[in-house]
Structure 1
Amino acid sequence: MATAVETLGKLERRITISFPLTDVRTEVEKRLKVQARTAKAPGFRPGKVPLKMVAAQYGYQIESEVLNDKVGRAFNDAANENNLRVAGFPNIVPKEEAAEGQLAFDATFEVYPEVAIGDLTVVEIETVQADVSEAEIDKTIDILRKQRVHFHTKGEAGEHGDGGEPIAANGDRVTVDFVGSIDGVEFPGGKAEGYAFVLGEGRMLPEFEAATLGLKVGESKTFPLSFPEDYHGKDVAGKTASFTITLQKLEWAHLPEVDAEFAKSLGVADGDLAKMREDIKVNLQREVAGRVKARNKEAVMDALIKVAELEVPKTLIAQDSERLAEMTRQDMAQRGMNVKDVPFPAELFAEKAERRVRLGLILSQLVGDNTLQATPEQVKAQIEDFAQSYEDPREVLKYYYSDRRRLGEIEALVLEENVVTYVLGLSKVTSKAVAFDELMGSNAQA
């Protein structure tokens, strides 16, 4: 039996559910008898253990199961009878005062909100577009060359030359020994032997790189180095140390020529440079299209948040915050970080969770009102699009269609794209051209 629904807040509700204590006892006895059929105890054959001993061993567990079942069933029945859309899980606590022979519980919970979406035809959304030019292809080729760099001893003649005068310059790889001290005392992490880095890449502090420039192998230099206030090493942050470095090895960078062999190293079997550039262009266009789509989706989502009015259930925010915290922990662990004892307070993720839940409710309303669900054809087309960048597209199709959860992720992605298309089709859209470098450096998070 359930009482009338009490309204505690905009979304918070409470109902009291109760049922006869005899119902619980009857069900507990029934389950104990079932348990007794297979119960084991020293000195008794299986199934012959006295019921009192079975009750002593399993009674508490079975009683808890019965209560959970009955309370859960009663709550679901009450929610259905009152046409309640329960958000998250109810908080159910025993009621101190109950009628004689009855068990009573208060169930406090939230319901899903009404979502009011404003007039989309007056919404202004700025989208972006970007092109891939020959300059971007050239830049990409330069990056690919640097990824395949070879280092040779500077000053020694070889197949590719000698690299010029054997003094350390930007672009060279240097191997140094160094020792640092503060007020004449060496500090942890301030000493190393055979430490290699490339000058000009910014891996070392500016004073360190500046002191290394111009050195020859075997030469040393002592110089002051001021650690920034926000330096990751708290023991030395904001302090000035004295460093002595000795150059042990000097190598110059040889970048591969853009020739047939270079093209072959990129997977162009016949080494055709025109084909190589076309392949790079296609890959860049695919990457640009993905970034543009993400930026435009973010613009649409931002617009929807502004135009929609709704209360967001705190229960759903809390659940998603916990989910995001656990996802972050797992991601860091997979990256090899030791996060076993690192706290991940869910509160840190509350703002992001609130946005995700809010958008989820808005999108659900739009999809339901306008029949924007993902179709099987759209899902297949999306997977096929993903598969284009893989060597064996059939394996990609098999990967997604063999797991309902993975397929659900694609369906959610297509659904979002349907919403984006729908909203852009109604709203006032302006388009802005963005530079390739700006686009590729952005991180859309919608």
Structure 2
Amino acid sequence: MQVSIQTTSGLERRLTIGVPADRIDSEVNTRLQKAAGTVRIDGFRKGKVPMRVLKQRFGAGVRQEVLGEVMNQTFSEAVVQEKLKPAGMPEIETKTAEEGKDLEYVATFEVFPEIELKSFASIEVEKLNAKVEDADVEKMVNTLREQQGEFVVVERAAADGDKVNIDYAGTKDGVAFEGGSAEGSDLTLGSNQMIPGFEAGIVGMKAGEEKVLALTFPEEYHSEELKGAAVEFKVTVNTVSEKQPAELNDEFFAKFGVSEGGEEKFLADVRENMERELENAAKSKTKNQVMDSLLELHAEIQVPKALAKEEIKVLRQQMVQQFGGGAQNLDLDSLLPDDMFQEQAERRVKLGLILNELINAKEIKADAAKVKETIEGFASTYEDPQEVINYYYGNPQQLQQVESMVVEDMVVEHILSESKVTEKDSTYDEVLAPAAPPEPEDGEAE
């Protein structure tokens, strides 16, 4: 087997591979001879079909089969011989494949980039320290009470956030238009369900009052007839209701899984959940800083197009699942083009390459005690923790996912041990707040 290698651009390689004709021809003959004992052809007894007839009838098909297998085998032998690491399947171009001639083909593919891990000493990470205060728990409880609250009719003027029951009739140039009228319709003020000015116009009205609102439909409104149209709405308020927070009672506690222990147990559960959420958020922000710094340190690493393409498929499928699937018959490549995911896909691939290199270089393996601690943490939020623990340890795929999480956490810990880490006192709300988007660099559009 003859092999020549050419670097075309970046990570792309072209292997020209030559295979002696006798390797192909001898395998074709071997298979035809083996078939001769079983094949049936009219005019010949079983096992007595001449080789020339077998070649004429089956030779081309057997040869194509052998060529495919030999190209797979020799490509694998060639990349081992040349010490290459293909990233994705090769594109094969056959140069010569005629019977009696040496096989020659070209395999074009990308290789994994060579990664030289940089020193982590220049990485700077800010770790946020915070704890759940009594005021944080009180604020959370008030939020939960508000979420579970109910609207109650009140005898006062409507305010933002109230729910009003109204009758309204819309006209354009004195003529009613389709969809512009309703009776007994509930509307939460401030929800922006109606066109601009409608809800604001009701603020301050009381039950039994009428008002005519002179408004204008938005220019981008879906109805051609009403785009930018000046209209009037005659509005009558039937009732005004305000949302009253739920009472702290057994019925309320039961909605959050507290059947015994009353308010004390409920507050303890809320605090425990908040502390878990705080720990995860602080850990996530630290991890994100580490990952961003890793990418900056290794910015020169090229991403194999084949790996980015596979990652784009994963991201596209995740988006479809996130929005409920049901897109089997849609052209997803047009609706969700590669460009939507390119940057994120390249980031994920590059991080994966860096992390794998670090894991291999430092021989980092999932610590069994940390895996157990992680699974027990998951299980603690369930009614029967042991059942959840048994599920993870009885399901190899789920266990492997946890082990991968633990390895990634161990990688972050290793990097932090060699980085500049400063600690900053913070609050629950600050740690839980989403990270601010990066500011555009000079020359970028806002």
What's the TM-score, normalizing by structure 2? 0.80
- Helix, strand or coil: the match of 2:4? coil
Moved more, 413-422 or 383-392: 383-392
Given residue 266 of structure 1, which amino acid in structure 2 is its aligned partner?
F
Per the alignment, residue 11 of structure 1 pairs with: 11
The letter of the residue matching 2:350 is R
Structure 2, unaligned stretches of length 5 or more?
Answer: 41-50, 438-446
Q: Which shows bigger deviation, 243-252 or 352-361?
A: 243-252
With over 3 angstroms needed to count, the CA separation of the structure-2 counterparts of 1:71 and 1:97, relative to structure 1, is: closer
Question: Do the aligned residues in 2 keep the contact of 1:127 with 1:299 (CA within 8 Å)?
Answer: no
* Residues 1:190 and 1:329: Cα distance change in structure 2 (over 3 Å): farther
Q: Which moved more, 1:99-108 or 1:121-130?
A: 99-108
SS in 1 for 2:15: strand
- For 1:323, the equivalent position in structure 2 comes to 314
Q: Show the counterpart of 1:197.
A: 187
Cα 1:96–1:102 change in 2 (3 A) is: closer
- Cα distance, 1:426 vs structure 2: 0.8
Shift of residue 257 of structure 1?
A: 2.1
Matches for 1:12-411 after TM superposition, within 5 Å: 12-19=12-19, 20=21, 21-22=24-25, 25-26=28-29, 29=32, 66-95=66-95, 101-152=101-152, 154=153, 163-165=154-156, 167-178=157-168, 180=170, 194-204=184-194, 207-217=197-207, 219-226=209-216, 233=222, 239-244=228-233, 245-308=235-298, 309-334=300-325, 340-342=330-332, 343=334, 344-411=336-403
Residues 279-325 of structure 1: per-residue CA shift (max 9 Å, x gap): 11110010111111111100000111112242222221122122212
**Can you list the C-alpha shifts for 1:8-55, whole angstroms capped at 9, x where unaligned?**
233211112344352574477479789979xxxxxxxxxxxxx9xx99
Give CA-to-partner distance per residue, 1:392-415, whole Å, 9 cap, x none. Answer: 223323443344333332222111
Report the Cα distance in structure 2 between the residues aligned to 1:246 and 1:27, rounded to whole angstroms: 93
- CA offsets per residue over residues 302-361 of structure 1, 9 Å max, x none? 111112242222221122122212222232234x67982452212321100111011111
Secondary structure of the residue aligned to 1:400 is helix
CA distance in 1, matches of 2:39, 2:100: 31
2:83 aligns to what SS in structure 1?
Answer: coil
Q: Which residue of 2 aligns with 1:45?
A: none
The C-alpha deviation readout for 1:84-115, integer Å capped at 9, x for no partner, is 11112222222268795233321111111121
**Using a 3 Å threshold, how does the CA distance of structure 1 residues 277 and 340 change in structure 2: closer, same or farther?**
same
**Local SS of the residue matching 2:411:** helix
Distance 1:307 1:254 in 2: 53
Whether contact under 8 Å (2:28, 2:62) holds in the other structure is: no
**Is contact 1:2-1:15 (8 Å) kept?**
no
Aligned residues: 421
Shift of 1:125: 1.8
Change (3 A) 1:224 1:293: farther
Q: Kindly provide the amino acid, as one letter, of the partner of residue 316 in structure 1.
A: L
- CA shift, 1:70, in A, is 2.8
Q: Name the aligned partner's letter for residue 87 of structure 1.
A: A
Worse-superposed segment, 140-149 or 256-265: 256-265
Taking structure 1 as the reference length, what is the TM-score of the superposition? 0.80
Query: Which residue in the other structure is 2:423 paired with?
Result: 431
Distance 2:78 2:216 in 1: 69
Contact 1:98 1:104 in 2 (8 A): no
Which whole-Å CA distance do the structure 2 matches of 1:6 and 1:395 have between them? 57
> Aligned in 2, Cα 1:290/1:66: closer, same or farther, shift over 3 Å?
farther
Aligned mates of 1:327, 1:386 — CA distance in 2: 23
Partner amino acid, structure 2, of 1:107: A
Cα distance 1:70–1:297, how it changes in 2: closer, same or farther (>3 A)? same
Is the contact between residue 128 and residue 424 of structure 2 (CA under 8 Å) also seen in structure 1? yes
CA deviation vs aligned residue, 1:158-204 (integer Å, no higher than 9, x gap): xxxxx333x43333222345455666787776565554332245555
> Are residues 17 and 338 of structure 1, via their aligned partners in 2, closer, same or farther at CA, if it must alter by over 3 Å?
closer
C-alpha distance in 1 between matches for 2:408 and 2:370: 12
Q: Could you tell me how far apart the structure 1 residues matched to 2:6 and 2:70 are?
A: 21
Aligned-partner Cα distance in 1 for 2:80–2:62: 27
Aligned equivalents of 1:119, 1:312: Cα separation in 2: 21
- Determine what percentage of the aligned residue pairs are the same residue: 34
